[in-house]
Each structure stands twice: as C-alpha cells, then as structure tokens.
A and B are shown apart, each in its own frame.
Chain A
Amino acid sequence: TQLLEQSPQFLSIQEGENLTVYCNSSSVFSSLQWYRQEPGEGPVLLVTVVTGGEVKKLKRLTFQFGDARKDSSLHITAAQPGDTGLYLCAGDRQGAQKLVFGQGTRLTINP
C-alpha cells in the first residue's frame, strides 16, 4: 500500500476547464511538497506547505494542506496546455527524514 495516494491517476480535460488533484494519507506529515515532472526531466518543485489549513497560490494553481496535515489538494483554474505534465505530491513524516512520493497524476490539457 502507498503511504500517499493521489487521485485521479490520469486526467484529460479541455483547455479552460478547472480541475482538482488530491493527495491523501492516513499519516501526519510535517510538510508536503508538490512537484511537476515533464517527460525526460526530473521533478521540479512547485510549492511546499507546512501548516495545517495552509493555502498557497501560484498564478492559476492553488495548493491546500489539510487541517490535520494528512492530505493536500491542487486546484488549477482555467487549465492551459502548458499545464500538461505529471504532478507528484511528496511528504515527510515527522522524524522520518525522507520524502515519500505519491504515485502521481498524469494531467493532459487538450487545446
């Protein structure tokens, strides 16, 4: 079983639509990070959330950390083809000193 479960695993929508990706766990995390990975490249950090209930915005992307620090969501408004990629959440449990990754959400935005 995965420590971090992402849903959906695959999402294909039309340009201009809104979407939400979820990252869930039964464990509590000290922090949670979201990365985006393009084909042939390594993941690149988008945001880190550290406080329960925290909301961070990055242009059209809104990230939220759950109040209990067990889950997170990524909401994209008015999706564009440039948003296409693999979105990964990753968390570190207190004292574990390592990041564990979700299995990723492969997002495709069609023009």
Chain B
Amino acid sequence: DTAVSQTPKYLVTQMGNDKSIKCEQNLGHDTMYWYKQDSKKFLKIMFSYNNKELIINETVPNRFSPKSPDKAHLNLHINSLELGDSAVYFCASSQEWSIYNSPLHFGNGTRLTVT
C-alpha cells in the first residue's frame, strides 16, 4: 500500500539513449511533482502538475518531457541522455495545489546513471 511509488528504482544507461520513469500515487492528491537530487543531495524542483495540467516547468531542458495521463500518474521521459543527467529523481505529490501547509509525499527515488 505504498503511497507514492516510482519505477524503476535503478536505471543505468548509455549516453544518447531515451528512458522513462513512471510514478503513481494512491493518496488521492491533486498535485504531483518531479524533483532532481544531485550528488550533493540538493533537491530542485523540475515540474509540477495539478489535475493533469502543467503548472511549473523550472527551466528544464526540453529533452525532459513529463506526461500526466491522469491525476494519479506522472511519468518522466528523457531523450538523448547526457552524463550530467545522472542523479536521483524523486516523484512527489501533495493534497492541494497550494504548498502552504500542504506537505509533499515523496517516492523512494530513481537513481539514474548515464555512462
């Protein structure tokens, strides 16, 4: 009964490949996010969706394309992978669009390694 689940847990691939990460939440939340955590553990928002609508696109290269087929799912597709894309990617959800007093529930992350 995992609240926010993302797959795969680990992803090792070569430069230039295209890969996808899937995320699903069973909390009934309206808003979902993708965050990137670098090697120094700094968490930075990439995208947020509210009820399937893109709300935030935080100057992420257009090689990254999120897709939300319904409000319980938010997938991340990455084209032409580069070495610098290596990081841990976290999916998260929150009950409301307003961050105020609406905490994030994170998945356990996908560690992407580009070789």
- B interface footprint on A27-47 (CB within 8 Å = 1, 0 otherwise): 000110101010011111100
Residues of chain B within 8 A of A101, CB atoms compared:
42-44
Determine whether the beta carbon of A33 is less than 8 Å from that of B103. yes
> Interface segment, B13-21, B78-86, B94-102?
B94-102
Interchain CA distance A37-B41 in the complex, whole Å: 10
Determine whether the beta carbon of B100 is less than 8 Å from that of A31. yes
Residue of A nearest to B90 (CB): A42
Q: Give chain A nearest CB distance to B81 CB in angstroms.
A: 22
Residues of chain A within 8 A of B100, CB atoms compared:
30-31, 50, 92
Determine whether the beta carbon of B40 is less than 8 Å from that of A42. no
Interface presence of B68 (CB below 8 A): no
Interchain CA distance A101-B100 in the complex, whole Å: 15
Determine whether the beta carbon of B101 is less than 8 Å from that of A50. yes
Interface size, chain A (Cβ < 8 Å)? 26
Interface presence of B92 (CB below 8 A): yes
Determine whether the beta carbon of B4 is less than 8 Å from that of A97. no
Q: Give chain B nearest CB distance to A87 CB in angstroms.
A: 11
Determine whether the beta carbon of B103 is less than 8 Å from that of A45. yes
Determine whether the beta carbon of B108 is less than 8 Å from that of A41. yes
Determine whether the beta carbon of B90 is less than 8 Å from that of A48. no
Determine whether the beta carbon of B40 is less than 8 Å from that of A31. no
- B interface footprint on A64-108 (CB within 8 Å = 1, 0 otherwise): 000000000000000000000010101010001111110110100
Apart from A42-B4, A45-B105, 6 more pairs, CB < 8 Å: A31-B99, A42-B108, A97-B55, A98-B45, A98-B56, A101-B43
Chain B interfacial positions (CB closer than 8 Å to A): 4, 40-45, 48, 55-56, 58, 90, 92, 97-101, 103-109
Instruction: Show 14 residue pairs from A and B whose CB-CB distance is below 8 angstroms, ordered by the A residue.
Output: A30-B100, A31-B99, A31-B101, A40-B109, A41-B108, A50-B101, A92-B99, A97-B48, A98-B99, A99-B45, A100-B45, A101-B44, A103-B40, A103-B41
Chain A interfacial positions (CB closer than 8 Å to B): 30-31, 33, 35, 37, 40-45, 48, 50, 86, 88, 90, 92, 96-101, 103-104, 106
